Amino acid sequence: MADRPDQLIRTGTDLELRQLKLLVAVAEAGSVAAAAAALGTTPAKLTLRIRRLERMIGAALLAAEPAGKLFTETGEVLLEHASAVVPQFDRMLTAARAGLERPVAQIRIGSVPTPVLPRLIREVGLRNPGAGLAVRTGESAAELAEALLREELDLGLLRQDAVRERPLEWVSIATEPLVVGIPPGHPLGVPDSLTPAALSGRRCVLLDQAVQPRTHALLAAFADAGADPRLCYADSEWAVLCVGYGAGILTVTAPPTRPMPDTSYRPLHCAATNSTLVLAWAEDSPFAGCVPRVRAAMTRAHAESLRALVSCRP
């Protein structure tokens, strides 16, 4: 026998208030599109958040064909409770905050390897004086995105692929190419730019595909160009750079956080291996207001950092 709506709702032990607010917003606005406009997001993003809630509950909440009805029976039951809980919680929060504004105690930042992380820390710190800082690195962009959703992080410097299908807010910082590290005295010389075909027959160190999703795109680009480089792999950016420098062979990575001495770096001209660096945050983050200025500073810093990296000659 099918579960009743109230039985389904009782299984949602991990429901969050912000998820219930989505249903209330849709009911008050009269449609997903109108609710998205009121919340300052897009209908696609709002629908994605509601689908996540549906998966947690185990039942559809929005009617497949509205025809005057926005919600399913389960959705109506959940909305009835949410309509009572949300205002009550808002009143409680308002009362607790009345006359008291506390500074942010700690800002939690997660980041993929990127040379502009220090600039993000600086910009956020300038706008939140006195706040502590906690920084997480060494995890994949997907893992950091999930940490944002669990509210374990406040801001994340991630790759667009990690946030595109998740209910997070984000803005792009820069389109980032892979760069080829050329150790001193390498027979390739120091050309102004490189293509995948130029690396054919050369020994190269790459990040393992389990760590760097772009490695898969790079291997496909080698195949498309008819290139046959001699490849080996490492499991971290630092390991790749150390192997390349120590063995005197080429490295192919994102712009490195710690470039090796006496090594030249040149962009790999291959659109398929480019990625977009983004600044991401969870819905209702207290740091959303500072994003426009932080983004502008980060974009400038990234352009300056990449220009300095690829124009430098040992």
* Cβ atoms 197, 243 nearer than 8 A: no
Please check whether the two domains, 5-97 and 179-273, share a CATH topology. no
What CATH superfamily classification does 106-175+275-309 receive? Periplasmic binding protein-like II (3.40.190.10)
Grade residue 272 by pLDDT with cuts at 50, 70 and 90: very high
Residue 1, C-beta contacts closer than 8 angstroms, at least 6 positions apart: none
Mean pLDDT, residues 129-141 taken together: 88
Is residue 2 scored above 80 in pLDDT? no
Residue 121, C-beta contacts closer than 8 angstroms, at least 6 positions apart: 109, 133, 135
Is residue 96 scored above 60 in pLDDT? no
pLDDT at 311: 85
Is residue 35 scored above 50 in pLDDT? yes
- Count the Cβ atoms, other than its own, within 10 Å of residue 216: 11
Is residue 309 scored above 70 in pLDDT? yes
User: What residue ranges do the domains of the chain occupy?
Assistant: 5-97, 106-175+275-309, 179-273
Nearest CA-CA partner of 38 in 51, 29, 27: 29
pLDDT at 183: 94
Architecture in CATH of 5-97: Orthogonal Bundle (1.10)
Most confident stretch, 4-8, 34-38, 242-246: 242-246
Q: How does pLDDT run across 215-266, given as a tens digit for each residue? A: 999 999 999 999 999 999 999 999 999 999 999 999 999 999 899 999 999 9
Is residue 66 scored above 80 in pLDDT? no
Residue 185, C-beta contacts closer than 8 angstroms, at least 6 positions apart: 248
Mean pLDDT, residues 149-166 taken together: 91
For the chain, how are helix, strand and coil distributed in percent, rounded to 5?
45, 20, 35
Q: Which residue has the tokens 């046959």?
A: 228
Give the sheet arrangement for strand 106-111, strand by strand. Answer: 132-136, 106-111, 155-159, 275-281, 169-176
Where do runs of H (alpha helix) occur along the chain?
A: 5-10, 17-29, 32-39, 43-57, 73-97, 117-127, 141-149, 160-163, 214-224, 237-247, 291-311
* Cβ atoms 268, 178 nearer than 8 A: yes
Mean pLDDT of the chain: 85
Cα distance between residue 209 and residue 217, in whole Å: 10
Maximum Cα–Cα distance across the chain: 74
Q: Which residue has the tokens 């390897």?
A: 113
Rounded to 5°, angle at Cα 20 from 18 and 23: 120
The verdict on domain 179-273 having CATH code 3.40.190.10 is: yes
* Percent residues over pLDDT 70 in the chain: 89
* Cβ atoms 70, 31 nearer than 8 A: yes
Threshold 0.75, pTM exceeds: no
CA distances from 142 to 87, 111, 215, 218 (A): 34, 11, 16, 20
Is residue 100 scored above 50 in pLDDT? no
Grade residue 44 by pLDDT with cuts at 50, 70 and 90: confident
Grade residue 289 by pLDDT with cuts at 50, 70 and 90: confident
